[in-house]
Structure 1
Amino acid sequence: MAASMACQAAARGSRRLFLNQNELPGWSCRRWLNLQEYQSKKLMQESGVAVQRFFVAETASEARAAARRLNAKEIVVKAQILAGGRGKGLFDSGLRGGVHLTKDPAVVGELAEQMLGFNLTTKQTPKEGVKVKTVMVAEALDISRETYFAILMDRSCNGPVLVGSPQGGVDIEEVAAKSPELIFKEVVDIVDGVRDEQALRMAANLGFKGPLERQAADQIKRLYDLFLKVDATQVEVNPLGETPEGRVVCFDAKINFDDNAEFRQKDVFAMDDMTESDPTETEAAKYDLKYIGLDGNIACFVNGAGLAMATCDIIDLHGGKPANFLDLGGGVKESQVYQAFKLLTADPKVEAILVNIFGGIVNCAIIANGITKACRELELKVPLVVRLEGTNVEEAKRILSESGLPITAAHDLDDAAKKAVASIAKH
Structure 2
Amino acid sequence: MSLTAFSQGWRASSRIVHSATRSSFSTSTKLGAYEDTIKNLKIGKHTRVLYQGFTGRQATANAKESIAYGTNVVGGVKPGTTGEHLGLPVLPDVRTAVKELKPDASAIYVPGNGTVAAMEEAIENEISLIVAVAEHIPLHDVMRVQQILRTQSKTRLVGANCPGIINTWGRCRLGFQPLPFFKDGNIGIVAKSGTLSYEAVASTTRAGLGQTYCISMGGDILAGTNFVEALEIFEHDDQTEGIVLVGEIGGRAEIDAAEWIRAYKKRTANPKPFMAVIGGVESPTGRVMGHAGAWRSPGDATAREKIAILEKEGVVVVDHPEKLGEGMKKLLAGRSSGAGGKAASGPGAMQKRGYHTMRTRPTIVASNSPTAAQKRTLILKPQQALDMLRDRGVKIAESKGSGKMLAVSIDRSKRMPAIVASPTSEPSQMFPQSRRYEFEYGSNDASADEMITKVAERLQVSDNAKPALKELIGNLVDLYMTKEAQALRTNIAVSETGEIEVTDAQFRFDDAAFRSSKRQQDIHQLRDIESEVPEEVAAEKEGMAYVKMSGPGTLGTIVNGAGLAMNTVDALIARGGHPANFLDTGGKATKETIKASFQIVTSDPRVKAIFVNIFGGLTLGDMIANGILLAFKDLDLKVPVVVRIRGTNEADGQKLIQESGLKIDAFDSFEEAAERAIKLANDAS
Separation in structure 2 between the aligned mates of residue 412 and residue 49 of structure 1, nearest angstrom: 59
> Are the equivalent residues in 1 in contact too, given 2:561–2:585 (CA < 8 A)?
yes
Does residue 322 of structure 1 match 2:579?
Answer: yes
Separation in structure 2 between the aligned mates of residue 191 and residue 4 of structure 1, nearest angstrom: 38
Aligned partner of residue 284 in structure 2, secondary structure: helix
Does residue 339 of structure 1 match 2:339?
Answer: no
Does residue 270 of structure 1 match 2:525?
Answer: yes
Aligned partner of residue 7 in structure 1, secondary structure: coil
Q: Which of 199, 212, 221 is 2:474 aligned to?
A: 221
Separation in structure 2 between the aligned mates of residue 314 and residue 37 of structure 1, nearest angstrom: 33
Counterpart position of 1:51: 395
> Are the equivalent residues in 1 in contact too, given 2:658–2:665 (CA < 8 A)?
no
Separation in structure 2 between the aligned mates of residue 394 and residue 175 of structure 1, nearest angstrom: 47
Q: Taking structure 1 as reference, are residues 386 and 193 closer, same or farther at Cα in structure 2, changes over 3 Å only?
A: farther
Does residue 237 of structure 1 match 2:514?
Answer: no
> Are the equivalent residues in 2 in contact too, given 1:34–1:273 (CA < 8 A)?
no
Separation in structure 2 between the aligned mates of residue 391 and residue 334 of structure 1, nearest angstrom: 17
Aligned partner of residue 251 in structure 1, secondary structure: strand
Separation in structure 2 between the aligned mates of residue 9 and residue 18 of structure 1, nearest angstrom: 12
Q: Which of 290, 299, 302 is 1:18 aligned to?
A: 299
Aligned partner of residue 275 in structure 1, secondary structure: helix
Q: Which of 382, 392, 402 is 1:37 aligned to?
A: 382
AA partner of residue 279 (structure 1): P
Aligned partner of residue 373 in structure 1, secondary structure: helix
Separation in structure 2 between the aligned mates of residue 158 and residue 283 of structure 1, nearest angstrom: 34
> Following TM superposition, by how much is the alpha carbon of 1:417 offset from its aligned partner in structure 2, in angstroms?
0.3
Which of structure 1's runs of 4+ aligned residues deviate more than 6 A? Answer: none
Most deviating of 305-314 and 29-38: 29-38
Separation in structure 1 between the aligned mates of residue 393 and residue 671 of structure 2, nearest angstrom: 52
Q: Tell me the TM-score normalised to structure 1 length.
A: 0.66
> Following TM superposition, by how much is the alpha carbon of 1:234 offset from its aligned partner in structure 2, in angstroms?
0.9
Separation in structure 2 between the aligned mates of residue 175 and residue 424 of structure 1, nearest angstrom: 37
Alignment RMSD: 3.5
> Are the equivalent residues in 1 in contact too, given 2:379–2:506 (CA < 8 A)?
no
Q: Which of 175, 188, 199 is 2:439 aligned to?
A: 188
Separation in structure 2 between the aligned mates of residue 406 and residue 172 of structure 1, nearest angstrom: 45
Q: Tell me the TM-score normalised to structure 2 length.
A: 0.43
Q: Which of 556, 559, 562 is 1:305 aligned to?
A: 562
Aligned partner of residue 389 in structure 1, secondary structure: strand
Q: Which of 540, 560, 576 is 1:285 aligned to?
A: 540
The number of residues matched between the two structures is: 327
Aligned partner of residue 281 in structure 1, secondary structure: helix
Q: Which of 640, 648, 656 is 1:383 aligned to?
A: 640
Q: Taking structure 1 as reference, are residues 298 and 162 closer, same or farther at Cα in structure 2, changes over 3 Å only?
A: same
> Are the equivalent residues in 2 in contact too, given 1:203–1:214 (CA < 8 A)?
no
> For residues 136-158 of structure 1, what are the alpha-carbon distances to aligned partners after superposition, in whole Å with 9 as ceiling and x for unaligned?
xxxxxxx9x94321111232222
> Are the equivalent residues in 2 in contact too, given 1:202–1:217 (CA < 8 A)?
no
> Following TM superposition, by how much is the alpha carbon of 1:217 offset from its aligned partner in structure 2, in angstroms?
1.4
> Following TM superposition, by how much is the alpha carbon of 1:5 offset from its aligned partner in structure 2, in angstroms?
4.2
Q: How does 1:387-406 map to 2 (within 5 A)?
A: 387-394=644-651, 396-397=653-654, 399-401=656-658, 403-406=660-663
Aligned partner of residue 238 in structure 1, secondary structure: strand
Does residue 368 of structure 1 match 2:625?
Answer: yes
Separation in structure 1 between the aligned mates of residue 586 and residue 667 of structure 2, nearest angstrom: 21
Counterpart position of 1:163: 420
> For residues 263-287 of structure 1, what are the alpha-carbon distances to aligned partners after superposition, in whole Å with 9 as ceiling and x for unaligned?
3222212111233322222222221
> Are the equivalent residues in 2 in contact too, given 1:33–1:269 (CA < 8 A)?
yes
Separation in structure 2 between the aligned mates of residue 298 and residue 20 of structure 1, nearest angstrom: 28
Q: Structure 1: where are the runs of 5+ without partners?
A: 54-75, 79-86, 88-142
Counterpart position of 2:284: 7
Most deviating of 373-382 and 305-314: 305-314
Aligned partner of residue 163 in structure 1, secondary structure: strand
Separation in structure 1 between the aligned mates of residue 300 and residue 444 of structure 2, nearest angstrom: 21
> Following TM superposition, by how much is the alpha carbon of 1:242 offset from its aligned partner in structure 2, in angstroms?
3.2
AA partner of residue 539 (structure 2): A
> Are the equivalent residues in 2 in contact too, given 1:17–1:173 (CA < 8 A)?
no
Q: Taking structure 1 as reference, are residues 284 and 198 closer, same or farther at Cα in structure 2, changes over 3 Å only?
A: farther
> Are the equivalent residues in 1 in contact too, given 2:643–2:673 (CA < 8 A)?
yes
